[in-house]
Amino acid sequence: MLDRLTEFFFPKQVSTFASDIDNLYFFIFYSSVALFFIVVFGMVYLAVKYRHKKGEELKLTSSKDHSNLLESLFFIIPLILVSITFVWGIRSYLKMVIVPDDAIEIKVTGQSWFWTFDYPDGGTTLNELVVPSNQPIKLVLSSKDVLHSFFIPVMRSKMDALPNRYNVMWFDATQEGVYDIFCTEYCGTGHSQMGAKVIVMKPAQYEEWANELGSDDDSIPLDELGAKLYTKKACNTCHTLDGSSLVGPSYLQTSQMWGQERVFDDGTSTVIDENYIRSSILEPQTQIVAGYQSVMPTYQGLLNDRELDALIAFLKSLNEDSQI
């Protein structure tokens, strides 16, 4: 019964402290339902019982306006309930802040509008947090621009990412799977698209993954790698493939304009070629396409040369695809 209810109210319980928090929720929930029914039942009962019936004369009503017993009950019952809630809330909270010593530390950086994850053995992923199951994971959060907040509903955990400061959160995933991550601190245009995934793997699988991190892309052709990177590196948050413009110009449009002039907001223009694409990924603030805002962060350090070539190849291929 309780399991069914938990499923109804909450996402899956994946972290070690999730069930504790859900139980706290149900404790408050049941107390609230009880109090609520007392209030509503009392209200309806009194209102109906003492309603002014048709034709009844107005009369002097009772002067009763207090009852020591009832009033002490009003104080004591809520006081007991909130005391339990407070103590429970703090006890569970302390479990959530005290990070176990054997935790793996992963650095999480928020940036408008994607997440970067730096793993302890080197290696970086974008918008994909890969962690082993049954192993405490400590996340050290910060932000490169404005406030973001890192929210994993299945872990019941959330923490703001502040610029120029670190914040810490941790969890211990109990079940393998792929789960949602949301940004919950408003951060501008792409706020609602600033999602990511947490991928929980079996420890052995994670080991394998961690060893391969950063070396797996050599074998696939450039434009296919580019297509992968397009979503993996969160280009899709701002650039579409269908010609419609989001925060930035669509890849398709740029692709179709290959070799033609592009006009910037300061009046200058340049020919779209490999060099232009490369510099607009690495130094996006220098040339802003007319009609758009200067919001793109630099990808310096986030893409290696092969990956840059791959993205360029992917972009060029879009035009050919559309002509077929």
Partner 1 sequence: MSEHHITPLRTYLIIAASLLFLSGVTVWVSYIDLGPLNIVVAMLVATIKASLVAFFFMHLLWDDKKNLTMFLMSLMFFGIFVTITLLDTEFRGDLDLNPEVKDPINKRAVFYDTLPLTDTHGHPVDEHSDNHHEDKDHH
Partner 2 sequence: MSENIKQNYLNHPKGLMSWLLTLDHKRIGLMYLVSGILFFFLGGLLALVMRMELAAPGNDFISNDTYNNVYTLHGAIMIFLFIIPAIPGALGNILLPLMVGAKDVAFPRLNLASFYIYSFGALFAMYTIINGGVDTGWTFYTPYSTQSTSNVVPMTLGIFIIGFSSILTGLNFIATVHKMRIPGLTWYKLPLFVWALYGTSLVQITATPVLAITMVLLMLERFLGIGIFDPALGGDPVLYQHFFWFYSHPAVYIMILPAFGIISEIIPVHSRKKIWGYKFIAYSTLSIAFIGFLVWGHHMFTSGQSVFSQIVFSFITYFVGIPTGVKIFSWILTMYKGQVSFTPPMLYALSFLFLFTIGGLTGIFLGAVALDIHLHDTYFVVAHFHYVMQGGTIVAFLGGLHHWWPKSFGVMYNQTIAKICAFGVFLGFNGTFFPQFLLGLRGMPRRYATYSEEFVELHSYSTFWSGILGISIFIAIMNLFWSFIKKNKVDPGSNPWGGMTLEWTHTSSPPHPHNFEEEPVLEHGPYDYDKVIVEKTYK
* CB of 164 or CB of 215, closer to partner 1: 164
* CB of 222 or CB of 253, closer to partner 2: 253
**Which of partner 2, partner 1, none does 4 bind, CB closer than 5 to 8 A by kind?**
none
Q: Binding string, 126-155, against partner 2, x = CB under 8 A?
A: -------------------xxx-x-x-xx-
Task: Tell me which residues in 163-192 interact with partner 1 (CB under 8 A).
Answer: 164-168
Q: Tell which phi-psi region holds residue 228, choosing left (phi > 0), alpha (psi between -120 and 50) or beta.
A: alpha
* CB of 150 or CB of 299, closer to partner 2: 150
Element (H, E) at 19: helix 18-49
Element (H, E) at 32: helix 18-49
Provide, rounded to whole angstroms, the least separation between the CB of residue 280 and partner 1. 24
Q: How far is CA 309 from CA 4, 15, 188, 262, 316, in A?
A: 51, 40, 30, 21, 11
The reply on whether position 1 binds partner 1 by CB under 8 A is: no
Provide, rounded to whole angstroms, the least separation between the CB of residue 175 and partner 2. 16
Task: Tell me which residues in 140-159 interact with partner 1 (CB under 8 A).
Answer: 140, 142
**Which of partner 1, partner 2, none does 93 bind, CB closer than 5 to 8 A by kind?**
partner 2
Only one residue has tokens 């009763």, namely 64
**Which of partner 2, partner 1, none does 99 bind, CB closer than 5 to 8 A by kind?**
partner 1
Task: Tell me which residues in 277-316 interact with partner 1 (CB under 8 A).
Answer: none
By CB under 8 A, the count of residues binding partner 2 is 86
**C-alpha distance across the termini of the chain, in Å:** 56
**Which of partner 2, partner 1, none does 158 bind, CB closer than 5 to 8 A by kind?**
partner 2
Mode of pairing for the β-strands spanning 196-201 and 128-132 = parallel
Task: List, in order, residues 6 or more apart from 153 with CB less than 8 Å away.
Answer: 11, 179, 180, 182
The reply on whether position 189 binds partner 2 by CB under 8 A is: yes
**Which of partner 1, partner 2, none does 140 bind, CB closer than 5 to 8 A by kind?**
partner 1
The reply on whether position 180 binds partner 2 by CB under 8 A is: yes
Sign of CA pseudo-dihedral 272, 276, 280, 285: negative
The reply on whether position 178 binds partner 2 by CB under 8 A is: no
Only one residue has tokens 């989001």, namely 246
Task: Tell me which residues in 224-283 interact with partner 2 (CB under 8 A).
Answer: none
Strands, sheet with 124-126, edge to edge from the N-terminal-most edge strand: 124-126, 114-118, 104-111, 136-143, 167-172
User: By three-state DSSP, how is residue 126 classified?
Assistant: strand
Residues within the interface to partner 1 (CB under 8 A): 97-99, 140, 142, 164-168
